[in-house]
Structure 1
Amino acid sequence: MYKKIIILLVCLIAGMSFLGLLKLKNNSKNNSKITIQFSSWGSESEIKILKPILMNFEKDNPNINVDFMHIPQNYFPKIHLLFASNTAPDVIFMNNQYLPIYANAGVLEDLSELNSEFCYDKFYTKSLETLSWQGKIYAVPRDISNLVVFYNKDLFKKYNVPYPKPDWTYYDFVKTAKELTHEPNVFGVSFEEEPLFYLPYLTSFGLNSLPKFEDSQTQIGLNKYADLRNKYKVAPRKEDSASATMAQMFLQGKLGMQVSGRWLVPKYREEANFDWDVVEFPKGSAGSIVPMDGSGWAISKSSKHKKEAIELVKYLSSKQSSQEFTKSGLIVPARVDVAESKVFLDGNKPKNAQVFLTEIETSKPTVVGVNYREILDDLKTKTEYMFNK
């Protein structure tokens, strides 16, 4: 009898232990988090905006942990190595210039059929086109990047030069630059040898393909740009700017106009001690056609947590998150409902912020390819003499 009681107690204890372990295992399963990795470049100010958004995402999705990988420099070489070593992040911040390399290699998830998740109708169609490859969407856009003409209104007043009008032409632009130029202290317009800053001259004079130096259509636009420095003498040479950037020269009151992008707005709002505004890029023979770039969030095809990755991209590209990215003045949002709201058109400088949106109508997504970076590097090498005769 005594032995039977002992055996019964042992069985009871064993059964309770088993149930306890099972419960513990189930609780552990319920409390476990899935970690997804997310990479991005970005300045300190951009990361200050991004981190709270990621924290809120984790609060709203307690089962997902985001391992944020900030790569402030040499971003794409490092991303390339991560893909090569099969350790790519689940979510990758991507731009249109590098996207074809990864999409063509088959390492990005095709997001074309996920309209129900991302509501593509909320975005500018052209912003989706910038982040597509061979007709398929590979990233959900955060922003649009196009170039406009910043101008120093105080210098225009000082030299009695009429403010530029929206429908002005390249020749109006040159005339205005001549009237603003008072060497050696003031030049009419900026001049930068990075292709980004002179591609609008090429496309506005008819280029609609990759900018290869030898192409006759490319040469037309390049000559129009080089003329600003070599023929009309309205743009600074290297010795005129010394080590100063075009942005620094603009802030110093040494440039009447500067061709650049939205990313300068926060800096000019904070540092410019003169009145300034923006206007559309002037029309060439083909019109005012500014190449449109874009950046957004892609998902690695090798991700083991695609469901969670989709949830993160949905959150990052939501209206609420887009508003947070936009408030700083740093970007032109790719979402129509944010771009055409008071969040973007907030009444702060530039007063004519609508220009960034107006240009979307006439712009064209930048023509890119797998070898786009090599083409630009070749262009930089071959224009060195042309720009510095």
Structure 2
Amino acid sequence: MRALRSSAVAAVAAAAAVTAVAGCAAKSGGEGGGKDGGKGTIEVTATDSACELSAKEFPAGHVRFAVHNKGSKVTEVYLYAPGDRIVTERENIGPGTSAEITAEIKAGSYEIACKPGMKGDGIRQQVTVTGKGAAARQDPELDAAVAAYRAYVQEQADRTIPEVRKFTDAVKAGDLEAAKKSYALSRVGWERTEPVAESFGDIDPKVDVREDGLDKGQEWTGWHKLEKSLWETEKISEDDKKLADRLMTDLKDWQKRVGTAEITPTSMANGAKELLDEVATGKVTGEEERYSHTDLIDFQSNVEGAEKAYQLLKPVAAKHAPALAKELDKQFTAIRAQLDKHRDSASADGFAPYDTVGKGERKELSDGVNALAEPLSKLAAAVATGAK
């Protein structure tokens, strides 16, 4: 999970501090508003204290959000369905920069949240999506991509449970070394498909929250609580053994529910970008696995999940944006090669501990992530073209 998440938004990222929350003011925009937006575009202007929208009501279907960060802090923008279920998101929007989000949205009531500083629940604005959306004329290849991705997500959940069982059995047996060896491997399937898990809103805070992402009064449970015991205190307590059982229960709940997730071509594309954001905010910085330093296998798993979504969408993306597909092929190959430099056959997870990776090497990894994230942010718009 992103290291600085609040459980109130189910590990979905963060927002302005309380003193910055001044509400979201709507601004007029007609059919798209600002100079950077086109017809049908919703302009989102984020500052440190406001989240202004060009429209609070818009038709269902494929919707384009043009986000402009005019504040002094890095921000994020989320679209939530009731229950803080994430419909779409975009993280790491730097001060003075812009980003685009294309999403397929059904009719209903939602909230848009701007999150300056990447902490808290965000500056929220209620929006209404009307109508039924455009008549579906989706490329059959996109239907096939969604079906294949749904099977992939379920497969990853199913494969995770036995790996988690090895981990939790070791914890309950008080076997510190066995628990350490199985910890990172138990997280691979989760890290490959995390945006789908986060979309439910309540699972991620139970299993993947960091200590500094807890809400006031929230009990700390999940992988990272156990990670701290294994590597920092190097003792397994009776409470840890109980937490191991709870982790298994919560992940079985994820396994059972993952097949009901709403998945669309644009959510697949946006989820791939979110996985790269996960790498940028948690893995490259070393915040995610701060005790075990197993960040690199998380990094690889995020990249693998993103590439899986891309490869399934590639037949359509390549038809509508061939240059984009070519660039994505190039950058995925490049980031895999960078990760390969840090493999270590002596390690339980196959990678060198991240605390042995120097600043220069971390910068190279960060640059590689950024080089991939930029074209990946355009994938949703490319596949949306194939759904019209």
- TM above 0.5: no
Larger relative contact order (Cα-Cα within 8 Å, sequence gap ≥ 6) = 1
Task: Report the TM-score, using the length of structure 2 for normalisation.
Answer: 0.27
Compare CA radii of gyration and give the structure with the larger one: 1
